[in-house]
Amino acid sequence: MSFAETLSGFFQEFGVNVAWMGANLLGIYDAEYADPLSNRVEGSNPVVQVPTADVVGIRQGQDITVDSRPYKVRGVRPDGTGITLVELEAQ
């Protein structure tokens, strides 16, 4: 017997609205502080985690809206578990 995990409850409980290419979905937003001591510019590193199946074809440079704020996709990192981390650039 195989085990299939569903993440929809997780996204429904903790997610924010994400709009991409005319689709509305839920994602987990984070704007982790970027430490200047780690050779990065001080500031935040905004990302949103979304179900991979909801963002098939997403790529760098596309427009995306997260929690009513406009961003450009800076990077796309699927993690192999059905979740994709989308790196964001504020507009």
pLDDT in tens, 74-91: 999 999 989 999 999 999
Kindly state whether residue 84 falls inside one of the protein's structural domains.
yes
* 61-80 mean pLDDT: 97
Kindly state whether residue 63 falls inside one of the protein's structural domains.
yes
Kindly state whether residue 36 falls inside one of the protein's structural domains.
yes
Kindly state whether residue 61 falls inside one of the protein's structural domains.
yes
Q: How confident is the model at residue 41 (pLDDT cuts 50, 70, 90)?
A: low
What's the number of domains the chain is made of? 1
Phi-psi region of 79 (alpha: psi -120 to 50; beta: other; left: phi over 0): alpha
Q: What is the distance between the alpha carbons of residues 85 and 54, in angstroms, rounded to a whole number?
A: 12
Kindly state whether residue 1 falls inside one of the protein's structural domains.
no
The domain containing residue 76 runs over which residues?
Answer: 8-90
Kindly state whether residue 2 falls inside one of the protein's structural domains.
no
Which CATH number characterizes residue 29's domain? 2.40.10
Query: Would the pTM count as exceeding 0.85?
Result: no
Q: Cα separations (Å) of 15 from 41, 60, 68, 73, 83?
A: 28, 22, 13, 18, 13
